Amino acid sequence: MDLRSLTITELRERVARAGEPPFRAEQLFRWLHGPGAGGMGGVRIPHAPSTVPRALRDALLADAPLVPLALDRTVESVDGTRKFRFRTHDDRAVETVLIPDDKQERSKLTLCISCQVGCAWGCAFCATATLGFGRNLTAGEMVEQLYWAMESVGQKPTNIVFMGMGEPLHNLDQVTRALSIIEHPWGAGLSPRRLTVSTAGVVTGLDLLGKVRPLPNLAISLNATTDEVRDRIMPVNRRWNLAALLAAARRFPLGHHRRVTFEYVLFAGVNDSDVDAARLPRLLANIPSKVNLIPWNPVPGLPFERPSEARVLAFQNRVRRADLPVYIRTPRGDDAAAACGQLAARLGETPAGFFDLRITGHVS
């Protein structure tokens, strides 16, 4: 395993086994994840300066070498959204999206991290699904997406969402490590309230996520109000149906004043009817919830359509209740194929519309 995928507890164990004093673990963690030697976030090169003695570093790196991501391309959308494409050590492509607040008032900066190469779950409307499953990313590869993004904009994101390529609950061990590293004050130090894990509905993983401390926020990609429709567009529903999924959401140990975010991608003529709008709040009864409506972002070759703006607004109005906030997630970065469900990186391929965009970097 990559040295950067180890939690502070594991680093302490390794330091102890090497017969070194405990404070070396803090130095190591700061070297691997803190600002300093390797740039804004963590070391990227094994020979970067450190307070940790060279011999100890070399011994630990021999067991767990750094496995870096290489920045392959950066594309910036006209709305300021930036998509990074990385190349892994085994030549896989991974994408990460950095989304500045469109209202600019509170300078919110959200980073959308990928946790797998491709995805196994086969959602009919999602570009990542068309890639099939490649492999799990390590926690090191996840935190490095953050460090590259921080270096690129000279700023730490205010929020991180595990909503890029892949299913976080299908790689929960590494996602949990990444969360603990990102939260640690010696690293990026983001509050768990600023971190969100999103799932297509892997119920066994949901119960395990409920045991993680500190708890991140939970988002569930619901996308349908009947099993008949959900079975069709999200094969995961054939394994855990709506009743099983919502029961798991109901028993999820939400913190005080916290809500589960239900993402609901709107497809014209599939799940955007008034009947759906009436059913949705009933399904979420007894779960402190909020709903994010996402008008479908086109993926070439997939047989869906985005509803009209009027239909999206009407749907929102019907779903909204005093105790159920409903937001419309306006597409961000869709000209750069960086919007929800459009991540489908393949190395060597030019993203759709690439030449119309401002290319902010090209490293190979």
Residue 125 within binding range of ligand SAH, rule CB under 6 A: yes
Residue 237 within binding range of ligand SAH, rule CB under 6 A: no
Name which position in 72, 95, 144, 263 contacts ligand SAH (CB under 6 A). Answer: 263
Supply the residues annotated as catalytic.
95, 340
Name which position in 340, 344, 345, 357 contacts ligand SAH (CB under 6 A). Answer: 340
Name which position in 5, 221, 261, 271 contacts ligand SAH (CB under 6 A). Answer: 221
Decide whether 181 or 233 has the Cβ nearer to ligand SAH: 233
Residue 113 within binding range of ligand SAH, rule CB under 6 A: no
* Residue ranges in 195-214 that form contacts with ligand SAH under rule CB under 6 A: 198-200
132: left (phi > 0), else alpha (psi -120 to 50), else beta? left
Residue 108 has, within 13 A of its CA and on its CB side, a CA count of 12
Tokens of 329: 């997630």
The one-letter amino acid code at 228 reads E
State the helix-helix crossing angle for 309-319 and 274-283, rounded to 10 degrees: 40
The label of the residue with tokens 């600019």 reads 104
Rounded to whole angstroms, what are the CA distances from 311 to 237, 266, 271, 308? 26, 10, 11, 5
Decide whether 174 or 297 has the Cβ nearer to ligand SAH: 297
Q: To the nearest whole angstrom, how small is the minimum distance from the Cβ of residue 161 to ligand SAH?
A: 8
Q: To the nearest whole angstrom, how small is the minimum distance from the Cβ of residue 294 to ligand SAH?
A: 5
By CB neighbour count within 10 A (0-12 exposed, 13-18 middle, 19+ buried), where does 181 fall? buried
Q: Are strands 159-162 and 70-76 parallel, antiparallel or unpaired?
A: unpaired
Residue 335 within binding range of ligand SAH, rule CB under 6 A: no
Residue 296 within binding range of ligand SAH, rule CB under 6 A: yes
By CB neighbour count within 10 A (0-12 exposed, 13-18 middle, 19+ buried), where does 325 fall? middle
Decide whether 33 or 306 has the Cβ nearer to ligand SAH: 306
DSSP-derived secondary structure letter, 320 = -
State the helix-helix crossing angle for 139-153 and 172-183, rounded to 10 degrees: 40
Name which position in 111, 341, 344, 357 contacts ligand SAH (CB under 6 A). Answer: 341
CA pair distance 56, 53, nearest whole angstrom = 6
Instruction: Return the closest-CA partner of residue 207 out of 218, 223, 196.
Output: 218
* Residue ranges in 159-198 that form contacts with ligand SAH under rule CB under 6 A: 163, 167, 198
CA pair distance 126, 48, nearest whole angstrom = 40
Residue 152 within binding range of ligand SAH, rule CB under 6 A: no
Residue 315 within binding range of ligand SAH, rule CB under 6 A: no
- 40-48, 181-189, 205-213, 295-303 -> range binding ligand SAH (CB under 6 A): 295-303
Decide whether 2 or 334 has the Cβ nearer to ligand SAH: 334
- The footprint of ligand SAH (CB under 6 A) covers 125-126, 163, 167, 198-200, 221, 223, 263, 265, 294, 296-297, 299, 340-341
